[in-house]
Structure 1
């Protein structure tokens, strides 16, 4: 699979809570960074563990778009959890045909107020 196909499949497997299928898409030495919380996960087991152990219900995950090629790709992912909506920009590289080095930037949609000079752009 190409990088873009791997990334789409990973987040789709997360939505299905199919942890074995998701793990099969990750390199054994996969790494995932989440700069907002300064978390660094190393190894397929830790990356899958983060998702598997997240408290349920964590909402409906949708892959909004994926761009990339054989060696790297990016995805925009949305999770709707009740009244809250979260978005993730995820970037992954491919090594040995599997996802290897990832970074995820998570935000809460509407979770921050814009500066006053841009307030008119909201909506």
Structure 2
């Protein structure tokens, strides 16, 4: 298990529990959060924490999978906002920490939208 993986696990746990102090402690001061679908970028720990604190609705998350190697972690997470369900793929990079627990320096998050498959391949696939 990499140090960054532990940090990302704490990041998601703090987000779910709305522990914004613990959440902020996982982030580098100059963290950059990027959302390619909306072409938004948030720079800085304070702004990113506030972005999450102000997010509307009663949202919750469950981490489905974590893939980690030194310096980078990818997560697949299931989110609910009220009755709506969605998944996000999140890429984290981080720094090495003196205590062995590095902080997150960049986050890029993708929110894939579900869509119907093209007609004509039903004989090859199974819907779930």
- Quickly name the TM-score band, shorter chain normalised: 0.7 to 0.9
Matched residues, number: 120
Higher helix share: 1
Stretches of 4+ moved more than 4 A in 1? none
SS in 2 for 1:91: strand
TM-score (norm 2): 0.84
What is the deviation of 1:70?
Answer: 3.0
What is the deviation of 1:118?
Answer: 4.0
RMSD: 1.7
Give the equivalent residue in structure 2 for 1:13. 14
Q: 1:118 to 1:45 in 2, by over 3 A?
A: farther
Query: Separation in 1 of the partners of 2:94 and 2:106?
Result: 7
What is the deviation of 1:82?
Answer: 3.9
The Cα offsets for residues 11-69 of structure 1, whole Å up to 9 and x where unpaired, read as: 111100111100000000000101011110100112111110001212x2111111112
Higher strand share: 1
Determine if the alignment matches structure 1 residue 24 to structure 2 residue 29: no
Ranges in structure 1 where 5+ consecutive residues have no aligned partner:
none
Give the equivalent residue in structure 1 for 2:99. none
Structure number with bigger Rg: 2
Ranges in structure 2 where 5+ consecutive residues have no aligned partner:
97-101
Give the equivalent residue in structure 1 for 2:108. 103
